[in-house]
Amino acid sequence: MTERQRYRAEDLHEFCCAVLQKLNVPREDAQEMGDCLVLADLRGVDSHGVIRLPVYALRIRKNVVNAGAMPRIIRTHAAAALMDGDNGLGAVVGPRAMEKAIELPTTAGIGFAGVRRTNHFGIASYYVQMALQQGFIGCAASNAPPHMAPFGGRARFLGTNPFSIGVPAKEEAPLLFDASTSVVARGKIIVAAQEGGRFRLAGQSIRKVTQRQTQRRRLPDQCCRSEAQKVRQSL
Could you give the residue numbers annotated as active site? Answer: 120
Residue 82 CB neighbour total at 10 angstroms: 16
Count other Cβ atoms within 10 Å, centred on residue 68: 13
Produce one character per residue of 191-219: b if its CB has 16 or more CB atoms within 10 Å, e if not: bbbbeeeeeebeeebeeeeeeeeeeeeee
17-44 burial code (b ≥16 CB/10 A, e <16): bebbeebebeeebbbbbbbbbbbbbebe
